[in-house]
Chain A
């Protein structure tokens, strides 16, 4: 028996690991709370490296900008051709900084509109290609973020927090196949449930077949789920089909472009954040 295991150590290990991972998946479905705790623990382990890397990227960006500035000063007499190249690069960086400023101004304006306390956070990892639609934020439980806090941008609803470690948290987008949010068609006030499809669109379910719905109708959060406040843009109806039974099948293109997500606002449901201005001052 022992010789079998020592001779087939790797295949035995593979089978053990594969079965263990299948059991782990099944366990998380059966005991969601334990799954969240497990995710939070692992997120906390990855947090120093991920946050450190994000800090390094910020630092490199700053050094690079300073470098360009100093280069401009010390090489003021360079030929026009070379100066043009530098100015073009600098122009690109400034344009990027301007866009970032614009996004942050949008977030600040949005912060004023929301009654709940909010917290700005940066996306440090994004998954929009596989079967899941999730992102990791650079803020976590230490900043007051809790599981099930809503996440929005000036464009509309992003998703909800599914795991919050000390310095990082994970967001499930509304496009994730296991996501659902209460929503309303703004023109006719018909209520429904917006469910992720796993691609970059969502579907509105539980809308009666006789309801008045047209392509182009705006869909906003209704606030009934207690996660997202009412009135935030979810998306626009792009297709309406007769669904199965007594319900319509409604396809919605989300207002938020998840592929280009950089900063978000977390709607804090719990106590006020401990480090509202955080390490990066945002």
Chain B
């Protein structure tokens, strides 16, 4: 119950952050994927099942705000949560550098999966490697900052093996 409420709070915070980002720094909205930060946070700090559930919910919420069809972000975020969660259960992601790399990798994975899905749906290609790399770096840095603030005192070391 407590973890479900925490997940809902995280989703609400992601929606609020997206709206606030649009109002206060719209230039940053292309570069920072707030929902991805939430998903990776769960993937590296919680259990894998929890991360996958959060990936699906966060993706669906993002679809509501930023997609013409429901399911695009939900698909990519679920896959990213599973893959990064798998990485988290094999590697120590408690330190800044591994977290940064996990965030950057998750951004690239999300972008590539989205491009594949869009191409399967017959949508024109939109993936620009330079842009994706920039987004990966920005998400990495912003994610570290956010995790530093939000995750202070979180039990990284208690991550499930």
Contacts and interface: CB of A to CB of B under 8 A. Distances in A.
Interface of A: 9-11, 13-14, 17-18, 21-22, 24-25, 28-29, 35, 38-39, 42-43, 45-46, 49-50, 52-54, 56-57, 123-132, 134, 136, 162, 170, 172, 176-178, 197-199, 259-260
Contacts of B65: 46, 50, 125, 127, 136
Chain B binding surface, main DSSP class: helix
23 contacts: A10-B49, A10-B85, A14-B78, A14-B79, A21-B74, A21-B75, A21-B78, A28-B71, A29-B69, A35-B70, A38-B70, A42-B60, A46-B15, A56-B20, A125-B65, A126-B29, A128-B30, A130-B114, A132-B67, A134-B66, A198-B123, A259-B26, A259-B30
Contact of B19 (A22, A53, A178): A53
Contacts of B30: 128-129, 259
A38 to B, nearest CB: 6
A198 B70 contact: no
Given A53-B20, A57-B20, A177-B123, A13 B49 contact: yes
Contacts of B78: 14, 17-18, 21
Interface of B: 12, 15-20, 22-24, 26-27, 29-30, 48-49, 52-53, 56, 59-61, 63-72, 74-75, 78-79, 82, 85, 114-115, 118, 121, 123-126, 131
A272 B30 CA distance: 35
Given A21-B78, A49-B12, 4 more contacts: A29-B69, A42-B60, A125-B22, A162-B68
